[in-house]
Chain A
Amino acid sequence: MSTDEIELKALMLASLEGDAAAHRVLLDRLSSRLRAYYKDRLARIGKAAAEAEDLVQEAVLAIHLKRATYDPSEPLTPWVYAIARYKLVDFLRRTRASRANVPIEEADEVMAHDDHDATESSYDIRRLMEGLSKNMRCAVEAVKLDGLSTAEAARRCGLSESGVKVNVHRGLKTLATLIAKRNAP
């Protein structure tokens, strides 16, 4: 097992416990690997590298939203690879850019390279947030953008604390859907 796998898995386990710092480092490190993976795969079918950043963000959002599906008794790399590949196949299907089959590779491929050359994705989070309901928007803004605690966010949005949590989760899910829709021409 690679040291990469061991380190990333340790970060993942900490992030599942609610360790925000570990979560941040994990998503950072995974996004540079996903960037290298997507740039390479898109280049192979003649697509612009710019679209890779959209895909990186879709995958990062998916990893965040679906992190409860990670089984800690399994290695992390195949889980990340499965999400990365799923998002790639979904993207190609949506954009109808290519009927090319995406071959199933070794899961390690997704961790093989780093790419820190981040560009901006083609959407603006503040503008996307306009697509959320009032409660979702308020909860995501308060908790995720302004860093308020759940109790403070509850006061600001006029929701209960559990209401804030539900709205943050639904809000991020809706954002992920909006991003996926936006990436389809």
Chain B
Amino acid sequence: MKTDELVTLLSTNVEPVDRGAVARTLCLAVGGGVIVALGTAFFGLGVRTDFATTRALIFLAVKLAFAIGTVGFAIAYLTRLTRPGGERKLSPFLTIAPFLVIMFLAAVSLGSAPRAHWDRMIVGDDWLECLLSIPIIAIVPFACSIWAVRKGAPTNLARAGAFAGLVAGGVSAIGYALHCTDDSLPFVAVWYGGTIVLCTFAGAALGPRLLRW
């Protein structure tokens, strides 16, 4: 076939293009992921029942702020990475900002506590549950994000996969935060932060396989 024939074929009856499609598809996918994560927290794990105490409310807010902040910045970058060449001039400093903040708060909190309490503050009651729950709840949100990115045209697949994983990990943490009763900053930094980073690495590893177009 001549390229000219292909061009003729492609420019016969051209439809106008919906320019907001990329961003809207991503938001739709992340919204779907959030619903699944919240559903898992409400109907699977069960929501924590001690909302009456101020301490519980404050920690719930901290966990949600960390998770939502992570997701918010990550979506902004993922939207760019979904477009060809989006990785150009991309310095993802903002995405690590929530992690730096929570690590700083955790360090302050450890610094002001007696050394004997450190183990308990870091390990908490249910570190294993957190370690398993966040990556597992992240599976469906990750599939949603990958679906949305595949509708676009990423040209750096490992990085796009990493950010899809980061978004999924953050979304999952939003759901898990509603269940989790371990209220200490070092716990949030290590187990929430760590598992979200784990999701990011998994995404980077899977991106080149899942995102080819």
Contacts and interface: CB of A to CB of B under 8 A. Distances in A.
Interface in B59-101: 82-86, 88
B170 to A, nearest CB: 24
B112 interface: no
B3 A23 contact: no
Nearest to B2: A120
22 contacts: A20-B12, A23-B10, A23-B14, A24-B7, A27-B10, A31-B3, A35-B3, A60-B3, A60-B10, A61-B6, A61-B10, A66-B153, A66-B213, A68-B18, A68-B22, A79-B84, A82-B84, A86-B84, A118-B3, A120-B1, A125-B1, A149-B13
B155 interface: yes
Interface centre among B16, B88, B213 (most CB of A within 10 A): B213
Contacts of B209: none
B2 A118 contact: yes
Contacts of B16: 16-18
Given A60-B3, A125-B1, 18 more contacts: A18-B15, A18-B16, A20-B11, A31-B3, A56-B3, A60-B7, A68-B19, A82-B84, A83-B155, A86-B155, A90-B212, A118-B2, A118-B4, A121-B2, A121-B3, A144-B13, A148-B13, A149-B13
Contacts of A69: 22, 82-84, 152-153
B11 A85 contact: no
A72 interface: yes
The 5 closest A-B pairs by CB, nearest first: A82-B85, A18-B16, A82-B84, A24-B11, A66-B153
Contacts of A149: 13
B5 interface: yes
A83 B154 CA distance: 9
A78 interface: yes
B49 interface: no
A33 B8 CA distance: 17
A132 interface: no
Contacts of A124: 1
A16 B7 CA distance: 16
Contact of B155 (A21, A71, A82, A118): A82
Contacts of A64: 10
B128 interface: no
Interface in B174-213: 212-213
B89 to A, nearest CB: 9
B101 to A, nearest CB: 30
B10 A83 contact: no
Contacts of A23: 10-11, 14
A172 B153 CA distance: 15
Nearest to B6: A57
A143 B7 CA distance: 14
Contacts, number: 114
B189 to A, nearest CB: 35
A145 interface: yes
Contact of B85 (A21, A57, A79, A125): A79
Nearest to A15: B14
Given A82-B88, A82-B155, A68 B17 contact: yes
Contacts of A86: 84, 153, 155
Interface centre among A82, A120, A147 (most CB of B within 10 A): A82
A150 B14 contact: no
Nearest to A176: B213
Contacts of A27: 7, 10-11
A57 B1 contact: yes
B10 A144 contact: yes
Contacts of A18: 14-17
B113 interface: no
Given A24-B8, A60-B7, A120-B2, A83 B13 contact: no
